[in-house]
Amino acid sequence: MKVAVIGTGYVGLVLGACLADTGNDVVCADLDAAKIDGLQRNILPIFEPGLDVIVARNQRSERLSFTTDVASAVQHAQFVFIAVGTPADEDGSADLRYVLAAAETIAKSAEDEVVVVTKSTVPVGTAERIRAVLQEHARVPFHVCSNPEFLKEGAAVDDFTHPDRVIVGTDSQRARELMEELYEPYVRSGKPLIFMDLASAELTKYAANAMLATRISFMNEMALMCERTGANVDLVRLGIGSDPRIGPSFLLPGPGYGGSCFPKDVQALLLSGQTRQVPLRILDAVHVSNEHQKGRAAEKLRFLLGGSLQGKRIAVWGLAFKAQTDDMRESPSLSLIDAVHADGGTVVAHDPESRREATRRLGTTVELVTSAYAACADADALVLMTDWNEYRSPDWKRVRAALKAPIVVDMRNLYSPSRMRGLGFTYDSVGRPG
């Protein structure tokens, strides 16, 4: 089948590459000429395990191509996926200018019947706005779908090829039949392909992310309760996660959620509720709680370092918002860095994959080093912010020798408190007795 994808960011690139890998003819279009030039040479703008292999294989097989000519890409496509960015406006609402511009280009360029599929995360009602643009400009029959993505950064390829479910919103029987054919290779194992109306599909994406963000914030608050009562969050998590009504997923406490989805989508859903006079009080509390949690690493450091970070050199392990990605958007590490700088301290940081992104975001305000141990040299304390595998079993003797003082703040609970004490460290984690 002939597929065009508008937007070669995280969502569009994974989508296009994986669809090509099952035999479809896919063209990914983007106005960013530098990005397209890199992709044509198999240089990816993001780090995602396994994606580079799929892109290279399908370009070699001529099933996948990249272009800056969006109009040409959509001209004879059976499906056009809109996977452009929806950045937050100043008020937190989703900015739809790129989505609607893509819809207009499709309408003016398509020369055959086309299924227009929104893959970007968009608020309820966007599909109808896209339909209005298509009705104004299109010269061929069209069908509108909402097909939200549920990809985890760091596991996106597996999530796409082995989905828990596929959600498709449409009011067109023809679009339903075509989407069933397109997704058939991915749901052969019996995972559901769920069809629903457009508004429900759009809201499902926001509701899923909001629920997961709520679980994270809830456990972070329970971790704080553990710290104040002497309880152990690991045991509390095991106890509640064993209840099948709750389950164990997304119950790990940490430095707060970040990334491209949860912060933006919670805010967008809050704004969407406000415009419809639906006060989403739980989600408002989730957002406030998460912002507080992002400040906990700095609070712990201040306590361990005598109340102030003035003049202190802080080593940070991990800049990405989670492991297996180079994405630093809304990363808790940025909140920690801002707090250290505000107190008059300095930061030296290491991350296995985010060096390029960190340089772009932070410039020379943070010293970036090429090894985890180099970050510890003459530092007053070490803070673990991202649970990369290479941080799981470090040479603690080497770490202690490099640090000015043996102080470790573990915001991912990777290490055993008793072992760290036995090794001579002053150690603090999230919700566990020290």
DSSP state of 94: B
Q: Is 261 a catalytic residue?
A: yes
Distance of alpha carbon 179 from alpha carbon 79, whole angstroms: 9
Q: Is the CB of residue 300 less than 8 Å from the CB of residue 363?
A: no
Closest CA to 151 of 61, 87, 102, 212: 212
Strand order in the sheet with 25-29: 64-67, 25-29, 2-6, 79-82, 114-118, 142-146, 166-170, 193-196
Catalytic residue among 145, 226, 261, 376: 261
Structure tokens at 94: 């989703």
Residue showing tokens 């932070």 = 362
The residues, ordered by sequence, that sit 6+ positions from 192 with a Cβ below 8 Å of its Cβ are 165, 166
> Angle 157-8-27 (CA atoms, 0-180°, nearest 5)?
90
Element (H, E) at 240: helix 233-241
The helix/strand/coil state of 350 is: strand
Distance of alpha carbon 399 from alpha carbon 424, whole angstroms: 11
- The number of C-alpha atoms within 13 Å of 394 and in the hemisphere containing its C-beta is 26
Q: Is the CB of residue 284 less than 8 Å from the CB of residue 270?
A: yes
Residues carrying an active site annotation = 261
